[in-house]
Amino acid sequence: VSVFVAETGSGKSTQIVQYLQTSGLFPGKIACTQPRRLAARSLSEYVAKQMNCKNGGLVASMVGGKAVKEETKIVFMTDFQLLKLCVSDPRLSEYNCIVVDEAHERNLHTDLIIVFSMISQKLMPKIPGRVYRVDVHYSDKKMDKSEKYFETAVDKVVELCLDRNVPHGNMLVFLTTPKDTENASALFQRKIGTQSKIPSYPLHGQLQPEDQQLAMEEVKDKNSRKVIFATNCAETSLTIPGVVVVVDSGLSKQNAFDPVRNMDALVVGEISRNSADQRKGRAGRTQNGCCYRLYTQAEYEAMSESTVPEIQRIDLSGVAIRILELGLNPLEFDYLTPPSRQGLNSAMSALEFIGAFSEGQLTELGKKIAKIPAEPRLAKMILLLYENNLAMEGMVLASLITLSGQVFFRGKTDAERQDATKTKEFYASDDGDLLTSLQVFKDWRSRPDNLRTKWSVKNCVNNKSMRSVNEKVADLQRAIKYDLKMQVSETFSDDRNFASAVQECIYRVFSDKLCAYSGNPRIGFVEVSTGQLLKIHPSSVFSNAVNIPVRCVHQIA
Q: What is the chain's pLDDT, residue by residue, as a tens digit (557 residues)?
A: 555 666 666 778 899 999 999 998 899 999 999 988 888 988 999 999 999 999 999 999 998 767 789 999 999 999 888 888 887 787 888 999 988 887 777 777 777 777 766 543 443 455 555 568 899 999 999 999 998 999 999 999 999 999 988 988 999 999 998 889 999 999 999 999 876 789 999 998 777 777 888 888 888 777 789 999 999 888 876 778 889 999 999 999 887 765 545 556 667 889 999 999 989 988 977 788 999 999 999 999 999 988 787 788 888 899 899 899 988 899 988 887 888 888 899 899 999 999 999 999 999 999 999 999 999 999 999 999 999 999 999 999 999 988 866 888 766 677 877 888 888 889 988 899 999 999 999 999 999 999 999 999 999 998 888 998 998 999 999 999 988 999 988 899 998 889 999 999 999 999 888 999 999 988 999 999 889 999 988 888 888 788 888 999 986 44
User: How many domains does the chain contain in total?
Assistant: 4
- CATH code assigned at 250: 3.40.50.300
pLDDT for 168 equals 86
CA 417 to chain centre: 28
184 and 326, same domain (yes or no): no
- Asked if residue 346 is part of any domain, the answer here is yes
352 and 405, same domain (yes or no): no
| DSSP label of 479 | I
- Asked if residue 363 is part of any domain, the answer here is yes
Radius of gyration, CA atoms only, the chain = 24
Go through 302-338 and write b for each residue having 16 or more CB atoms within 10 A of its CB, e for each that does not. ebeeebebbbbbbbbbbbbbbbbbeeeebeebebbee
266 and 143, same domain (yes or no): yes
- Asked if residue 379 is part of any domain, the answer here is no
**Beta carbons of 242 and 219 less than 8 angstroms apart:** yes
pLDDT for 213 equals 84
205 and 298, same domain (yes or no): yes
- Asked if residue 79 is part of any domain, the answer here is yes
163 and 148, same domain (yes or no): yes
160 and 291, same domain (yes or no): yes
352 and 450, same domain (yes or no): no
Q: pTM of this prediction? A: 0.70
Burial class (CB in 10 A: 0-12, 13-18, 19+), 153: buried
pLDDT for 186 equals 93
- Domain range for 267 is 134-310
Last residue in a domain, options 127, 156, 175: 127
pLDDT for 233 equals 85
339 and 431, same domain (yes or no): no
Burial class (CB in 10 A: 0-12, 13-18, 19+), 119: middle
* Cβ neighbours, 10 Å, residue 295: 23
Which DSSP string corresponds to 363-381?
Answer: -HHHHHHHTSSS-HHHHHH
- Asked if residue 530 is part of any domain, the answer here is no
